[in-house]
A and B are shown apart, each in its own frame.
Chain A
Amino acid sequence: MSTVLFDVPGPRARTRYRAYAVVGSVAIAALVGYVVWRFFDTGQFEGRKWSWFEYKQIQLSLIDALGRTLSAFAVGAVLALLFGAVFAAARLSDHKWVSAPAAVIVELFRAIPLVIMMFFFYYGLPSTGIKLSAFTAVVLSLMLYNGSVLAEVFRAGINSLPKGQSEAAYALGMRKTQVMVLVLLPQALRAMLPTIISQLVVLLKDTALGFLITFEELLYWGRQIGGQLQFGRPLIPTMIVVAAIYIGLCLLLTWFANYLEKRNRRNKKVIKLDEDKAKMVQLGEASGVSGTMGAV
Chain B
Amino acid sequence: MGVLTRNIDLFVHHFANTLKLFAVSGIASLLLGIFLAMLRVSPVPVFRGAGTLYVTVVRNTPLTLVFVFFVFAYPYLEIIKFEFFTAAVVALSLYTSAFVCEVVRSGINTVPVGQAEASRALGLTFTQMLGSIVLPQALRSVVPPMVSTFIALLKNTTVAAGFSVREAGAIRDALSELGEDTLTGMLWVAAIFVLLVMPLTYLQRVLEKRWSVAR
Direct contact of A and B (CB under 8 A): yes
**Which of the residues A21, A110, A206 comes within 8 Å of B62, measured between beta carbons?**
A206
Q: Residue on A with the closest CB to B189?
A: A116
Q: Cα distance A250–B65 when bound, in Å?
A: 14
- Residues of chain B contacted by A267 (CB below 8 angstroms): none
Main secondary structure of the interface of B (DSSP, over half): helix
Please state if A21 and B169 are interface contacts (CB–CB under 8 Å).
no
- Residues of chain B contacted by A280 (CB below 8 angstroms): 144, 208, 212
**Category for how many chain A residues contact B:** 35 or more
Interface residues of B in 161-215 (CB under 8 A from A): 161-162, 168-169, 172, 176, 181-183, 186-187, 189-190, 193-194, 197-198, 201, 204-205, 208-209, 212-213, 215
Please state if A120 and B159 are interface contacts (CB–CB under 8 Å).
no
Tell whether A24 pairs with B60 under 8 Å between CB atoms, given A44-B76, A116-B190, A287-B145: no
Q: Is B68 an interface residue (CB 8 A)?
A: yes
Q: Is B99 an interface residue (CB 8 A)?
A: yes
- Residues of chain B contacted by A239 (CB below 8 angstroms): 65, 68-69, 73
Q: Is B152 an interface residue (CB 8 A)?
A: yes
**Which of the residues B65, B78, B155 comes within 8 Å of A114, measured between beta carbons?**
B155
Q: Cα distance A272–B143 when bound, in Å?
A: 26
Q: Cα distance A117–B186 when bound, in Å?
A: 9
A-B contacts at CB below 8 angstroms, number: 236
Interface residues of A in 227-248 (CB under 8 A from B): 233, 235-236, 239, 242-243, 246-247
Q: Is B106 an interface residue (CB 8 A)?
A: yes
- Residues of chain A contacted by B158 (CB below 8 angstroms): 113-116
B169 shortest CB reach to chain A, Å: 5
Q: Cα distance A251–B57 when bound, in Å?
A: 9
Q: Cα distance A181–B141 when bound, in Å?
A: 32
Main secondary structure of the interface of A (DSSP, over half): helix
Please state if A5 and B148 are interface contacts (CB–CB under 8 Å).
no
**Which of the residues B108, B151, B204 comes within 8 Å of A4, measured between beta carbons?**
B108
Binary contact track B75-107/A, C-beta < 8 Å → 1, others 0: 011110000000000000000000100110011
**Which of the residues B62, B162, B201 comes within 8 Å of A107, measured between beta carbons?**
B201
Interface residues of B in 94-125 (CB under 8 A from A): 99, 102-103, 106-113, 115-117, 120
Q: Residue on B with the closest CB to A249?
A: B60
Please state if A286 and B103 are interface contacts (CB–CB under 8 Å).
yes
24 contacts across the A-B interface (CB closer than 8 A): A3-B43, A4-B115, A7-B116, A28-B50, A35-B77, A111-B197, A112-B155, A114-B158, A116-B186, A116-B193, A117-B190, A208-B63, A209-B62, A211-B162, A212-B161, A212-B162, A233-B76, A246-B60, A251-B56, A276-B215, A283-B144, A284-B145, A287-B103, A287-B145
